[in-house]
Amino acid sequence: MSKFDLTMPKMGESITEGTIINWLINEGDSFEEGDIILEVATDKVDNEVPAPKSGTLVKTLFKAKDVVPVGQVIAVLEVTTSESKKVVTSSAVETLPKKQKATQQKPQPKSGGTPSSSSSSSFSTSNSNTFFSPLIQKIAKEQHISFEELARIPATGHEGRLRKSDVFNYIEDGRPYKFAQPVTQDPTAYRIPQLKFDKGKGKIIEMDRMRQMIADHMVYSKHTSPHVTAYVETDMTNMVNWRNANKKAFEEKYGERLTFTPLFVEAVAKAVKDFPNINASVDGNNIIVKEDINIGMATALPSGNLIVPVVKNADQKDLKTLAQNVNDMANKARENKLGGDDIKGSTFTISNVGTFGSVMGTPIINQPEVAILALGIIKKRAEVMETEKGDEIAIRSMMYLSLSFDHRVVDGFLGGSFVRRVADYFEQFDINREI
């Protein structure tokens, strides 16, 4: 054991002093490396000061609410020397299973190392400023957070170390880097500011398994795909009038309700066939253009959760079969009877946000697809129509389409052309079509 002077850390370029909030370790108490010894406040943020090594707090030189200049000694510690730590490490290795022992006995750098890099109780990544204390490792184990995910959490501790509050804030934010690819942290790179939001008080509702999966999928999609949304307005009058005139006869002939959804699926499948690159996914540096056109339909469940049943090979089916498939999927969804095959294999997804009265939406892409189409509410409006007699005002059934696409592989020309083609198929619907 050796004496160690704990100084007031520098917590920013413009910070020259800090105020001790409180001591978390009392004189005579022992602590582990990385444990928080005290909390310090500056004019910008509160900080936790971790123990640089394991040991005992011998004496505090300042008390709570004292203002101390940066670099001033604030406490005297008795810490474990590097030699004694090596003895502990070697004895601990002897008691480990062979496989784990081999992992712990990997050769360490002969120079430039620190005591923490040779300790079996610490973990470091390629970023030399990233350190995971035993406390952080314990929290990560309890929360099932891997070391790779820990390495992606923005750290605000001294010298870039990860603090307990960083981990808990990250968990409360929904673990946004859970699926991110590991990267080497650049100390000069932009860091997410550690903002302390007031979450307020109220009823706490634990997410069910499906809601957790939806949350993870949505966050993953936003972090994976740079979303761009294109909007188009379309005249639905022909389709609306045809459906109103034929829905009763259609149900009597085929025993199936004729909603707008199979008509939407039919037109979207035709447009996908015209622009096959919209029917794709990304695999590393490769684009996979799918042969099958399988249209997913975002559907709300009675529980309020969301699910996407799939109409397989939609481009090869007539309106009767599409209506059967759509109605069957909708009934299964309402009764919670959808099977695994019913929700797999979609290559392009539509979301009928108009069902809930929404004029338009900015949908999140259903990974691994590269685009998703939202269909707004159909509303009657006075529109200026160009006729042989000139401009006239007429009452038309209008709808907004919004296409969110992955700008990694879909550019504005493709995205805009595709959504415009869907709108054209809606507008040019054959009013004399036979059922």
The residues that are catalytic are 407, 411
Contacts of range 243-248, beta carbons closer than 8 Å, 24 or more positions apart: 246/435
Is residue 257 within 8 Å of residue 323, measured between CB atoms? yes
d(CA 48, CA 60): 16
**Residue 355 burial class via C-beta count within 10 angstroms: exposed 0-12, middle 13-18, buried 19 and up:** middle
d(CA 355, CA 377): 7
Chain mean position to CA 40: 33
Pairing of strands 348-351, 371-375: parallel
Is residue 222 within 8 Å of residue 406, measured between CB atoms? no
Within 13 Å, how many C-alpha atoms sit on residue 116's CB side?
19
**Residue 348 burial class via C-beta count within 10 angstroms: exposed 0-12, middle 13-18, buried 19 and up:** buried
Alpha helices in 161-305 (DSSP H): 164-172, 209-224, 237-254, 260-274
Kindly compute the dihedral angle of the four CA atoms of residues 363, 365, 370, 373, in this order, to the nearest 10 degrees. Answer: -30
In eight-state DSSP terms, residue 180 is P
Is residue 326 within 8 Å of residue 311, measured between CB atoms? yes
Residues in the chain: 435
**Residue 253 burial class via C-beta count within 10 angstroms: exposed 0-12, middle 13-18, buried 19 and up:** exposed
d(CA 126, CA 166): 19
AA letter at 73? V
Is residue 308 within 8 Å of residue 218, measured between CB atoms? no
